[in-house]
Structures are given as structure tokens and as C-alpha cells.
Structure 1
Amino acid sequence: MEGTGPIRTPDQRLRVFVSSTLKELAPERKAARAAIEKLRLAPVMFELGARPHPPRELYRAYLQQSDVFVGLYWEKYGWVAPEEQVSGLEDEYNLAPSNMPRLMYIKETTRDRDPQLVTLLDRVRSDDNASFKYFTDADELAELLEQDLAILLAERFDRSRAAPHSDPDSPHVRRPSAIPAPLTQLIGREQEVAEIRGMLHSSSVRMVTLVGPGGIGKSRLAIDVAAGMTAEFPGGVVFVPLAPVDQPGLVTNAIAQALGVRDPGDVPLEDKLVIALRHRRTLLVLDNFEQVLGAAPLIVALLGAAPQLKVLITSRALLRVSGERSFEVGPLGLPTSRRSRQLPASVALFVERARAVKPDFELTPDNIDAVERICVALEGVPLALELAAARVRMMSPASLLQRLDRQLTLLVGGQRDLPPRLQALRSTIEWSTQLLDSEAKSLLFKLGIFAGRFSLEAVESLSADDPIDVLIQLSALVDNSLVRQQDRNGRTYFALLATVREYALEQLEAAGTTEELRSRHTRYYAGLAARSEQSLKDKGQAGTIARLADERDNLRAAARHLLEQQRWDDAADFAWNLFVYWWIGGHLGEVQTWMDAILGSGAPVTRRSQAIALFFTNAITYWQHPGETIVPGLTQSASLFRREGDKVGEGFATVSRGLAKLTSLPPDLAGAREDVEASLELFRSVGEGWGEVLALVTLGRVDLMEGKTDDALEHLEGSLHLSRERQDGFSTTVAQHHLGWAYIARGMIDEAERELEDSLEYTTRVRHHEGSAYALEGLLGVAAARGDIERAGLMYGASEMLREQVGMFNPVAFAFDRRLVEQLRSGPTRDAFERGYAAGRMLSPEEALAYALPKAAPVGGAA
């Protein structure tokens, strides 16, 4: 169609393309138009609907200019024109851009739909960009469409607003755990949600525990409660999944991980959590606490130290501590009478889950009795209902009920000691697995060995000796709701619900195969660590760390298994291969405890393992102890690496010894220079570029401490050039932080500001708060050099708050700004500096970083 250019609405509003047949859905089209216009959006609707002879070029142009696709469907597929393969209705769906969000609405019917429409609706179910809901009349459609468009626009706004701060491939992302996005609608829990939120609103309630059996819906309920309270907790609503945690002592690490608090081993992690939470109004959601009840004192301690903190817990058992308020989560409502037009919650949930696998599933007079009896047999337990509904694709409700009745009678008989609801759930899980073929069932049990999410490659490693197509069997488990699928950072991962994982582990124990599978699991993750070692130091660093972070729970499980089996040498190699990941990710404190176990075992280990353990237990402790106390350990580590011919290991131990000498009192500058120059030579002799950057930065630091600014500039500019050449964002920012102070020392204030702002822009984008704190401290020096004392104070206050929130502190020996701050806090500059400092501590991280960047407007009147 010639002349078809961009089609714009007069006021440039967002456009919503509505696709439907005309004659059967005229009232619904009118209601859809009204709902769209109520939100001040622009409906794009052809007056003739999807016509027999569709003007394809016209509506293709309209589709390409639209922002949202809305599909309305009932019984008719529409006419297929001559020489066309599909109707105009399906053609519009096909031509919609693949990345356009699609809201699909299907009108309930008691008659048969056109077969072609049923096929189209089956496609909709597998469309990742589409959601679909059922409705009964035009009024309900209008309400659904208005709600869904409002939610969609809010999500898109949040995403665009956060875009500059979120780089999923970055290794430095340190954001509080997002509340998991539910894949399904919460049904039948409106009253419970209101009651729990009411409890959390009360000033006298600090901790609420949702208690109930597995599969009753505690986690899903907690997610919905928390999602609606984000505005009331400006310090964050933080979800902490505890299902992968099997030891109470590891709960501290899980909470720190969710909050973005790092553990480099400088101070106890619990103290860091207190510092990070004490000034924040935060809601912690601790999911699946029943297996770590021994960590209850930690939660009490955090509540005592952080007066604005509140905690929402899901557990099968109460913590039984002071201040705990319990809320029992019961089953969904069961059928009692059909007088009400509203479906009982259990039936509504079954129908919704059935439609997820069979979009044309309808409640009819022929099947409603069977559906209701299924819900009663399963005691209204949500997970049991979901597992049963997943079978609707293959069998009718009547057939399902017949098989379920027989299996429940058979299976529950041996579990008389369990409460009825647990009998129903456990029996449904067991029944669901019995309906699988032997290969899928075997794979499900093997998946119980994973902690947290896992990749397809990891699954394949468990079944390397089995002649099965793992992907096909895994798909069957997903289709039957026994395994959950999720996409993260461009990769597909899978996970088991805690209840299903428990059952799978029981089957492994009964078969006596647990240890064999644990060994396979450990072998895979040890191999992943070995394969990752080099990419952690080059341009693949960001993607590698993102992948390792996604499987962090399994990495920890592998490390613990190696230690439990007293495979000390393998444990040391595993830790060493991931050294860069532990460092950048802020996990060195945890690794230190593993290495302490090796050194404290008294068992014979190789020289290499001893060198690695000594490195980890000493190289990170110069943050805590005077350097001279750890120099002997690092000297021994370097010597052992040298005897093994490992120049990379020797280089890292040597440069770390140089850093330790800088923290001695007084600093041993000559000894530090000697060590760093030796490490630089070692790194260059084997082409270890990442180590070379580290050595050059450290050498520049020594130069600055000795007042040799020309030498410092040479070394630091060299490190910056090399890190940029290697496309390593992390080491680039480290070099820029040091170079900024070198420029300040030379009076090159504009150059310092350029490097520090460039660094801050990157660390802000990837939310690497520690790097942002270093950049703010450098900009403090820039502001002071220009005489803007209040701005300098604001930079310092903001950097201090950032450090507290992520648990990273700058030792006196490593702080370029410490002497300058002492000067500004004395004499005539004191009042201006303190005003800025107080304002800086009041800013959120986002406000502080936005204020510091060029052309940013003052925030909240600060400064």
C-alpha cells in the first residue's frame, strides 16, 4: 500500500491495537475501547473488525506503530479469504511484532469453538510475550483490560526508570533481591492478604510467621503480601530464599546475599547486616525457614538492632521466639453449594491451572461434579491441585478423578501418621510421579540433588551415562508442574519446589544413590570452576560472573561436599579457580572458613593446596589486622607456589604481601615496592594481564604514598590502558579511582573529575556500590580542591552511607581521603563540611549518585 507512513495519534499517546471478530464481539469491542480511553491511551481498532479480505499492508503498518496488542476471542475463527491460509484474526496475531506485549482475552462458552481457533489459542499458551485470561461478559472484560494495561504500563515504567542501573551481564550488580515475579494469579486469598498486611502495618508487630504444611501456598501468599507493601518500606522489600540453605549458620550469608552486603572477611558478617539495616525501614521476607530454625536468634538480634526492620517468615513450624506473631495458612475454600455465582477458590485454582495446559478447558455441567470432587479429595491444598490439573491435557476430569481416587486410597494407607492435608499433598506428588515414564521419573529424583536453580548442562551431567533425551524428559517434568523453568541473563534455569525436592531426595536415599549423584554434582561444578578460571580475568568476565552468581547455591554445595569428604586438595583447587569470582562477588569471608578447615584438618595436603589455603586465610585479613602479623603467612604461600613452579600463584601471594606491608604501622613502603615490582615481573613473564593490572595499580599507590606523583601517573595510566584493552570494567574503575587521586595531587582537577565521573557513571549503571563509594570519595577531593566545601561534605556522607549498606569499609591505610577529611573538619571549613555531610547521609544511593554526576540537579535541597 503506497504512501503508508508512520501513523500517529494526534496527542502521541500510547497505542493499543485491538484484534477481534466483529459480529460476535461487538459489545466487547465497545467495552475494550472505553477501558483503553479511560487510561488516556489510544485504541487502534478497525471499524469492520478482522475483515474477510484483510488490508494486510494497512494493519501491518498500524501494528508496527502500536505499543500493545490486545486479542479478543470467543467461538469463531473468522473467514479465510481466497488464496489465504489463515483468517484475518490469526493474520493480525501473526503480524504483530514479536517483542510486543500481548494481552489475550477469551470469552467463556458452553459450545464448541471453531477448531482453527482452538489451535490458535494453543499457540497463545506457548507465546512468552502473551498472557491470556477468561471473561464472562463485556463488563468483566473492561475491568480486566483496564487492570492489566495499568499493571503493564507500571512495569514498563519501572523497567525504563531502572534501565541505567541494571546490566544483567555485569558481575558487579548488588541490588536487593527482587520479589519473585509470580507466574500465576493468586486465587482465593484476598482476606488473608489483607489480614497479614494489617498485622505488618501495626507498630507493635515486628515479625509475622506464616505457618502451615508444605504446598499450602505460604510462599505464594508471602510474595503477594510483600509486593503490595513496597511503598511502605523505602529501605527495600527483600526476598530471601532459604530452600537451598540446609545449615542455620548459613542464613547470615543468605540474607547478606539478598541485601547485597559483601563478605570480604574483614568483620563478622552479622555485624555488617546490623550496620546495613539499622537506619533502613526494610521488610525481610524469609522463605522456607523450617529447615534452619536454629537461626532464630539471628533474626531476633537483627530486629533488636534495627528498630525499623520488619520480618515476614514462611515456615512449617513456628520459631517460638519473643515477639513472633503467627498466622496459620489454611487450604483453599472447598465446594459446598452452587448457589453462589462465584467459584470456590479451590475450583477456581484448578480451572486456572488446567487452562494453563489446555487453553480451551471449560467448566461444564458434564465435568463440574468431577472437578469439585477432585478439589475435595485433595483437601484444597494448592500444590496438590496444581499437580492434578496439569494432567487435564491428557485426561478428562472424570478419568482424572477415577485414577486419583484409586491412587489416594492406595497411597494414603501407609501414611496414617500424617495429617490429612499432608497425606493429600504427598500422595498427589507420588501419584504424579507414577504417571511419568520411568526415564522422566528417574530424572526427577536426580534433580533433588541440586541446591537452588540449575542449568540444563548441569542436568545433563547427572545423566551422562543414561540413554535418554534429557531435554524431552525435563520438558515433561515442566509440563506436569513438577519442575519450574525460569530465564536469567539470557540462560534457561530450572528449580524444584521445596516440597517436591524433599520427596525426590527421599527417593534417592531409599535407592541408595545419593552419594553417587552428589559426587556427579560436585564433579560438574568443579569442572565449571576450572573452565571459568581464565574467562574471569578477560573480556568474558562479566558474563562468567553473572552465570556463576546464578548457580551460587550449587557452587557452595559442591565446596561443602568436598570438605565433608575430606578431599582437601580438590577443595583448594575449586576455591583457587574461582578466586576472581569470590573477590569481586564479595564472598572471600566464606572461602576463608573453607580454607581454615583445610589448614586445621591436620591431614597431609599438597604444597599447592597449602599455598592456596595460606593465601586465602592471610591475603584478606590485612583489612582487620596489622600487616606485619600476616606477612609470614603470605611469605610461606609465595614460597610454596614458587616450589610448585606456579608463577601466577606466587605473583598474587607476593602482591598481597606488598599490600599487607602498606598496612603495617608504620607502613613498610620500601618492602611493599620490592614485593609489588617482583609480582609485576612474575605476571608479565607468564602473560597474566589481570594480575599485571593489579600490580600496576598497587605500584601507583606506593608512588602516591611516597609523593612520587610522576611515577604514579605513569603506572596508573598504564594500568588503565591495559584494563581497557582487556575490556575489564572492574579493573578499569579500580585504576580510575587511583588515577583520580594522582591527578588531584598534581593539581589536574579537570582530569581527575573526568576519570572519577566516568568511573561513577559505570559503577552507577551496574550498581557496584563499593566502586561508587570510591568514586564519591575521589569527587570529595575534586570539590575540596575547588573550594566547594559543602559539596565535599555531601560526597563524604553519601559514600559513608553506601559503604554501610554494602558492608564495605575503607581501612585507614587505604583511604586517600582520610587526611583531607580531617583537615576539612577543623578550622573555618568545619561548619560547611558538616552541613554537607549530614545532607549526604540523608540521601538514598540513587539520589547521591545522581547528584554527583554532571548536570544533575540538586536532590532534596541538599547543598
Structure 2
Amino acid sequence: MDRQPGTIRTPDQRLRIFVSSTLKELAAERVTARAAIERLHLAPVMFELGARPHPPRDLYRAYLAQSDVFVGLYWERYGWVAPGEEVSGLADEYLLAPRSMPKLIYIKESAHREPRLVELLDRIRTDDMASFKYFTEPAEVGEYVEADLAILLAERFALGQVTTVADVDEATTARSGLPAPLTELIGRATELDTVESLLRDPAVRLVTLVGAGGIGKSRLAIAAASHVADAFSGGVCFVDLAPVHDETAVLATIAGALGVRDTGDGSLEEKLVVAIRDRRVLLVLDNFEQVVDSAPRLAALLVSSPGLTVLVTSRTRLRVSAERSFEVGPLRLPVPGRPTTAEHVLAAPSVALFTERARAVKPDFQITDANASAVASLVTRLDGVPLALELAAAKVRLLTPAAMLERLDRLLPFLSGGLRDLPDRQQTLRKTIEWSTQMLGEDEKQLLATLGVFEGGFSLEAAEAVYSPGRGTDTLSVLGTLVDNSLVRQEDRVARSYFSQLVTVREFAREQLEATGRLAEVSELHAEYFSRLGQQAERSLEGPTQREWMSRLADDNANLRATVLYFLSTGDVDRAARFCWTLYVYWWVGGRLGEVRTWMTRVLEADPPVSGFTRAVALYFTRAIGFWEEPAGQVLPGLVESAELFRAEGATSGQALALVSVALARLASDVPDMQGAEDALETSLDLFRKAEDNWGQAMVLVALGRTALLSGNVPAALSRFRGSLALAEEEQDELSETIALHHLGVALAFQGDMDNARTAFESSLTKSARLRHDDGIAYGLEGLIVTAVSSGDIQRAGVLTGAAQKVREETGLYNAPTFAFYQPWVDGVLAGEGAGVFESARAAGRALSLSQAVDYALPPPLAPVNKQSANA
């Protein structure tokens, strides 16, 4: 992709998706399209994201010239035709798109289109590079754009077609677990080659990129990992350890990134080994310096997993066996003594990086003979440290390089000390950050310090909650100034803006917060905000907004952890327990109950003894997730006590939920107590009904149906499962629907109704795949094993069995008691003549990826109806 110097550039180096539509008419659709594009780690190119100093027509024409895919959204309006123009901007965007550019067209249903828009759409339909679909709701646009772009990328942007270093990063990142690079990698060709060679060497298992903060370790690691992704058939996984300060949480963070669930049902380290032992995996661990004491655990993981290679970024070496460290230094500076012409200065990577970042905020910025000397002196003054260069470049909109250099020379010698124990390059960066803040207003300085309380990132609402109380300040405007100065970064998460800080900036901000004596006050505001968020989420996690809230809470997971740890550190175990209880569904569905159990163990050990409700919660979290690991005699008393404490506190739903676990523990005993379990479940169901908790009722009905199946009463089980499904559908809770559908399929299979059982299993699997619910996917695959065996398709049954086993192993969902009803059907095959075919197919199934397994299991979708033809 040829990028001409001096053109208006988007502030990234990813594959660009140009979105064309009228702005106000399709505002909601533009938001969902943008979110879909960013989920694929691509760059949305949209007018509202553009550089304001340029005329609108010049802006979209320049952006369009740099784009790779055209997405058109159309409804009723043709758009405004500017004076002196013959077509609207909407039509102009389509007409200017190169004929060879792929075009994805989405048309909103309407019977009232403007005539010129009808003409434009008729023309688009004759374009053999355009595909088009009709939609009615904004959400459909997001689903269509994400699916169509994924297919298009697979077909058109194969790695072999990409030629530049930046483009290799783009294409590979879109297919791996790496974050999409927001910027072009500049001046690191030699380092990149060296690190790539190390990672491709089978004898090298652990590579550590060592260097000062802001030196560019993370960016180099992402580029190197993307270059070698083809060598790791098991995938590349990026883990940001910046928000992790407790070494005990390191494995949980790695597990979460790998998709391994920390359900508390066994050693997490063992689960990680099982998940990756047969895979060729590259694990990229970013910002390891603050958890360096956990390095021995990492070394142990490498010993147990022969296919694992680890790439670490850290300010210090890990000092474990097999480590190969690589020092990442600053970018090369202009050669002293050479003429300071634009040509000579631009040859230095430090100047090239400064220029690139400057153009992101001032697109017409150029290195000229007139400013070359000032730029050369500026980058030299900043020691070629990439983050320092970026912070300085952000000032280009307001200051010339000469003015910037003058201010820098005047201020740096007088900035606060206390940095003599830091390496020279780290001192340079810290002083540059201080210099950047010297140019801020008082509101911006205070907000920057306040933001140091966040872990991982934050929403605008969260920033307002910790900064704005009693101030009467427009937080958004102040935050915008910090974004403009590269001290805060912004991205979109679906329809929400989300913000983050680089580790070094966040450390500086937190130090400022401590220095002002406000850390305790702001930490309390932080905890109060997330406590309120938990209360909002509690019921929202049990209905149609579950996916939205799971995603939102996952974004804030580091802050949720920080909230619990804050409560525990201040001895406020009651608030810790209540907060964890409000987010029960999030911890459960997200596979995070193992970490919650650790926290609640600390609650039970608190002195003095805790309140009744707090003890009930802590007993539940520490007992309910382990009833299949330990004898019922060890966990059952705690669960019974938990239920009784909830009852005494008037917490009806809590009592009901605890009774479900009491029942399951009774069933897990060496001698199952069927009657005791059923009594507990009936009481639980009655309590959930009194609380008008449909989600709870749906869960209990599934448990009662399973009890009926264990007793051999299939008709009773069918009734329970259908009742659960009806409640889930009423609540529009798709997760509960998948659970009910799967169990309904099981009962139908036991009844011999394989056709309807297959329909139930396929529906459950479809919903689970849409929810990205790994446990549900495994259950769906397992259900279809039975229908395959029943139809005599041994090969299909084998493939599904291997795929299901792989899903469970790679997600750590194999210790908890799975409802493995399919095993008798598999045992029958293994005892017969088809055993060899089955085992060969099972091996083939284990080679499938998750998406391949789902595609294999489900029937092909029906071809969409062409509504234009249907209405003709």
C-alpha cells in the first residue's frame, strides 16, 4: 500500500476500512460499524475521526485514497450537494473509491428514499466489486460488518500479499491474539530481525526484551510476535501485566488471556499445562517487571510445556535458567557534525518517529531545512526515547520545534529531583513527562494525577466519578486535553469510549496523587464507583443485556480486582463480600471463581469474626465451587451454614442459591442422597419464586430435571427443562436458554427422539457460539455426538468427540462435573467394529480450532433471501 508523503494520514498503520454514510441519519449504525471494525483490530476511517483543520471534502478524499475496504451505509437521504458540486459527498465517496477496492454495502429497509439515492443504489448494484445486504436495526450492521470483513480478509489479505513491515504486522495481528499496533514500527529493523531469529530458534524458549520504560519494548514485542506467528500453530497470546501487582494473580491473568477458566476446581497451573502441552504456542508477557518474583512459576510452566515459547518485556532481567535477554535501546539520533538539512536529519529513526507522531496531530507537519536543526537538537535532548518523542510531538499543534526546544531547555534543569537512582534514559522520560505536565492547566494536572488510581483502563463515567465530585468541572474537556497531549489514550469499546495510560505515565500520575495526599480519598471514590457499578450489573447480568454487561465488566476486570483488594486492605470485609456477591454471575460465567475463592478465604480468616451475611457469602464462594473435589462431608456443612445464614439475614435469593449447591453436594456424595437433594431444590425453587427471580427459577428447574433423569423419570425431566427454557426465553437470557436447550436435548435423546434432540443441541450450540460461551460449546458438541452415533455416522461422532475434548482441555473446563451422558454411546462404538474409524476421526477432531469445530458441527446456514428479487 503506497502512502505518499504529505498526504493526510490516519493515526495508525492498520488495514483501513472507510465508512461512508450520511452522518446524522445513520449515527447509531456508524457506531456499531466502527465497533465491529475495531473488534477485528482494523482501523475505521470515518469523517468524525478526522483532522479538523482540513476541509471536509479534502479530508474524506485523502482518507479514501489510503483505505483498503469501502463500507457503505445507506437509508433514505442522498445527502447535501455542496455549491459548485454535481453530486453529494455521499455519492462522491462511492465514485472516488477505486474500482478494485472491495465494497461492502448495507441498505436500511425503507419505502421513502430520495430519488437520487435510488439512482446511486441502482448504480452500486451493477458494481461487481460490491456486495450488499439489507438490514432493519443498527445491531444487524455490526454483525454483518464483522462477519463480512472477516471473510473478506481471509480471502483477499493473505499474508503473502502483504509487502511492507507495517502491513505484515496488520495482517498477522488480525489473525492472532496480539493487540493491533496503533503506530508504525520505525527504526527497529535490526532489532526486529534479531528478536525474530531468537523466537524461531527451537532451542530458545524464553526471550526477555529489557529496557527502560517508554523505550519501545512492547511495540517491538508485538511486531516480532506478529512476524513469527506462522511458526506457532497453537496461536500467539498477548498478556498485559501492567494492572497486576500481586504475583499470585499472574497465573490467573495468563489463564484468562489464554481462555483457561479459573473455576477453582483444581490447580490453575495444571490447567495451563493441560491447555498448552500439545500446542506450539507463543506467549507474550508485557510489563513483567512488577511481578518479577513470579518468574520461577513461569520457568516451571516452560518445563512442563515443551511447545511453549515466552517473549517477555521487562525493565529488569528475570534471572531464570534458559532466559535469553535482549537490550532494547533508544532510537538512533542524527549524526553529530553532519549538515542539519532536512534530508540528513530525516535519515535518523528518532526524527522519523517524531515526524510520524507529529503528523498524527498536525497532518501538514514537515521537516524542512529551516526547522531541521531544531528537530535534531530536540530529539537528541530527549535521548531518542520513543515515548519522550511522542509526548513532545503532541505539542506540535501549539509550538514550533524551536519553541519547544527552548522551553525544554529552560524547564528540564529545574524539574523536581529524586530520580538519581534511575537509569539515564528513564530519567529522560520521567523529566519529559514532567515537562509535558508543566504545560498543562491546573485542572489537567489534577485529573492526570487522579487517573493514577485506575488499573488497566477506565471509562469516562469512572473518570468523572473519581475526579468531578464537587468540582463542577467538565471532565470530558479536561480529559480531551490529556488525550491531545498523548498522556491518555482513547479507544472505542462497542458504543463506549475507553481510556488508558501507558505504564510509565500511570506510575508518574500515581506518584503525583500520593504526593498530594489524596490517594486514600481517590481510592475510596474509585471503590464507591465500582461498587455502584456492581449493583447496576447484578440484575442486568441475568437478562437480555448480559452480553453487554459481561463485556463491560471484562474491560474493567483489573479495576474490579483492585476494588476487592482495596476493601480487604482496609479491613472492610463486609464491603468486599457484598461487592463480590453482586457480581456472582460475572465471576461464574467469566470463569473467575477461583480468584474469588482466594479473596473469600481471607474474609473467613478475618479477626474479629465477620457479620452473618458476609460469612454466608464467603462460605458459599469457598465451598460451592469445590463440592466435586472434596468429600461432601467436608463441604456440605459449610453450604448448609451458608444457606441458614442467608435465611437469617432475609437474603432470599442467596439462600435459594446456596440450597442449589447443597443439593449438588448431596448428589456428589459417595452414596447420593437423592431425596435430600430434591427437597433442597424444591425449597430453592419456592424461594426464587417468592423473590420473583426468573433466572434463579430457570437454574433450579434444570437441576431438578437432572435429578429426575438420574432417577430414570424422563417425562418429569422433560417437563422441568421445558419450564426452564420458557423462563429463560421470557427473560431473554441467552445463556440460560443454551443451558435449558442442551438439557432438553439430553432428555429427548434418552426418550429416543433423536431428530428433536439434534435440533435442541444445534440451537444450544449456535447460541453458545454467538455468546462465545466455551462450556456451552463443549456441551453442544457432546450432545451431537449422541445423534451422530444414533444415525450410524461413526466418523462424525469421532470428530465431534475429539473436538469437544480439546475445547475442555484448552479452557480448563474438564474437572467440574460435566453431564457426560454421551459416554455410553461412545463406549458402544469403541466396543464394535467402528472403533478404528472412531479413533482416527477423534484425532482429526482434536486438530480443529474452536470455530472450525462449531462450523463442522452445525448445518450450513440457509442462503439469505434477496429482498429486492422477492419484492419484484
| Alignment match, 2:383 | 379
| Alignment match, 2:637 | 632
Residue 825 of structure 1: CA displacement? 2.8
**After superposition, where does 1:85-234 map in structure 2 within 5 Å?**
178-234=177-233
Segments of structure 1 that go 5 or more residues without pairing to the other structure are 1-16, 18-31, 42-49, 72-91, 97-144, 163-175, 857-863
User: Residue deviations 1:98-143, cap 9 Å, x none?
Assistant: xxxxxxxxxxxxxxxxxxxxxxxxxxxxxxxxxxxxxxxxxxxxxx
* Conservation of the 8 A alpha-carbon contact between 1:264 and 1:589: yes
* Conservation of the 8 A alpha-carbon contact between 1:749 and 1:782: yes
| Alignment match, 2:235 | 236
The percentage of aligned residue pairs carrying the same residue is 48
Of 444, 454, 457, 1:453 maps to: 457
* Conservation of the 8 A alpha-carbon contact between 2:173 and 2:180: no
User: Residue deviations 1:527-557, cap 9 Å, x none?
Assistant: 1111211111122211111111110000000
Rounded Cα–Cα distance in structure 1 between residues aligned with 2:328 and 2:165: 31
Is 2:837 aligned against 1:832?
Answer: yes
Change in 2 beyond 3 A, CA 1:670/1:824: farther
SS in structure 2 of the partner of residue 195 of structure 1: helix
Rounded Cα–Cα distance in structure 2 between residues aligned with 1:789 and 1:533: 45
Is 2:86 aligned against 1:55?
Answer: yes
Of 345, 349, 356, 2:349 maps to: 345
Is 2:531 aligned against 1:526?
Answer: yes
Residue 317 of structure 1: CA displacement? 0.2
**After superposition, where does 1:315-354 map in structure 2 within 5 Å?**
315-336=314-335, 337-338=338-339, 342-354=346-358
Is 2:270 aligned against 1:265?
Answer: no
**After superposition, where does 1:231-310 map in structure 2 within 5 Å?**
231-310=230-309
More displaced stretch, 726-735 vs 512-521: 512-521
More displaced stretch, 766-775 vs 729-738: 766-775
Change in 2 beyond 3 A, CA 1:692/1:69: farther
Rounded Cα–Cα distance in structure 1 between residues aligned with 2:659 and 2:781: 30
* Conservation of the 8 A alpha-carbon contact between 2:169 and 2:227: no
SS in structure 2 of the partner of residue 500 of structure 1: helix
Q: Give the residue type in structure 1 aligned to 2:280.
A: R
Residue 53 of structure 1: CA displacement? 5.1
Change in 2 beyond 3 A, CA 1:681/1:459: same
* Conservation of the 8 A alpha-carbon contact between 1:704 and 1:712: yes
Q: Give the residue type in structure 1 aligned to 2:371.
A: N
Change in 2 beyond 3 A, CA 1:673/1:324: same
Q: Give the residue type in structure 2 aligned to 1:850.
A: D
Residue 834 of structure 1: CA displacement? 2.3
User: Residue deviations 1:644-684, cap 9 Å, x none?
Assistant: 12211111011111112221123222211111111111111
* Conservation of the 8 A alpha-carbon contact between 1:278 and 1:307: yes
User: Residue deviations 1:537-584, cap 9 Å, x none?
Assistant: 122211111111110000000001111111111111001100011100
SS in structure 2 of the partner of residue 313 of structure 1: strand
Change in 2 beyond 3 A, CA 1:351/1:149: closer
**After superposition, where does 1:797-812 map in structure 2 within 5 Å?**
797-809=802-814, 811=816
Rounded Cα–Cα distance in structure 1 between residues aligned with 2:349 and 2:484: 23
Residue 484 of structure 1: CA displacement? 0.8
User: Residue deviations 1:792-830, cap 9 Å, x none?
Assistant: 222222111100000001655732223433343334443
Residue 282 of structure 1: CA displacement? 0.9
Is 2:404 aligned against 1:425?
Answer: no
| Alignment match, 2:495 | 490
Rounded Cα–Cα distance in structure 2 between residues aligned with 1:249 and 1:413: 34
Segments of structure 2 that go 5 or more residues without pairing to the other structure are 1-44, 46-61, 71-80, 102-119, 125-160, 862-872
Rounded Cα–Cα distance in structure 2 between residues aligned with 1:152 and 1:415: 39
Change in 2 beyond 3 A, CA 1:353/1:472: same
Residue 201 of structure 1: CA displacement? 0.8
* Conservation of the 8 A alpha-carbon contact between 1:812 and 1:818: no
Rounded Cα–Cα distance in structure 1 between residues aligned with 2:69 and 2:266: 54
| Alignment match, 1:119 | none
Q: Give the residue type in structure 1 aligned to 2:201.
A: S
| Alignment match, 2:676 | 671
Rounded Cα–Cα distance in structure 2 between residues aligned with 1:809 and 1:610: 29
* Conservation of the 8 A alpha-carbon contact between 2:265 and 2:815: no
Q: Give the residue type in structure 1 aligned to 2:767.
A: Y
Of 402, 405, 416, 2:406 maps to: 402
Change in 2 beyond 3 A, CA 1:746/1:146: closer
* Conservation of the 8 A alpha-carbon contact between 2:702 and 2:720: yes
| Alignment match, 1:841 | 846
Rounded Cα–Cα distance in structure 2 between residues aligned with 1:153 and 1:765: 28
Change in 2 beyond 3 A, CA 1:696/1:387: same
Change in 2 beyond 3 A, CA 1:36/1:438: closer
Rounded Cα–Cα distance in structure 2 between residues aligned with 1:66 and 1:762: 40
| Alignment match, 1:707 | 712
Change in 2 beyond 3 A, CA 1:697/1:52: closer
| Alignment match, 1:593 | 598
User: Residue deviations 1:236-268, cap 9 Å, x none?
Assistant: 111100110011111101101111111111011
Q: Give the residue type in structure 2 aligned to 1:335.
A: P
Change in 2 beyond 3 A, CA 1:666/1:814: farther
User: Residue deviations 1:581-600, cap 9 Å, x none?
Assistant: 11001111111111111111
SS in structure 2 of the partner of residue 279 of structure 1: coil
Rounded Cα–Cα distance in structure 2 between residues aligned with 1:158 and 1:509: 38
Is 2:486 aligned against 1:481?
Answer: yes
More displaced stretch, 355-364 vs 581-590: 355-364
Of 634, 638, 645, 2:650 maps to: 645
| Alignment match, 1:854 | 859
User: Residue deviations 1:243-297, cap 9 Å, x none?
Assistant: 1001111110110111111111101111111111111111111000011001101
| Alignment match, 1:743 | 748
More displaced stretch, 342-351 vs 810-819: 810-819
Rounded Cα–Cα distance in structure 2 between residues aligned with 1:583 and 1:377: 52
The alignment's TM-score, normalised by the length of structure 1, stands at 0.80
Q: Give the residue type in structure 1 aligned to 2:394.
A: A
C-alpha RMSD of the superposition: 3.0
Rounded Cα–Cα distance in structure 1 between residues aligned with 2:773 and 2:728: 17
* Conservation of the 8 A alpha-carbon contact between 2:491 and 2:498: yes
Q: Give the residue type in structure 2 aligned to 1:630.
A: V
More displaced stretch, 346-355 vs 331-340: 331-340
Rounded Cα–Cα distance in structure 1 between residues aligned with 2:401 and 2:484: 17
Equivalences, count: 728
Rounded Cα–Cα distance in structure 2 between residues aligned with 1:208 and 1:422: 22
* Conservation of the 8 A alpha-carbon contact between 1:241 and 1:287: yes
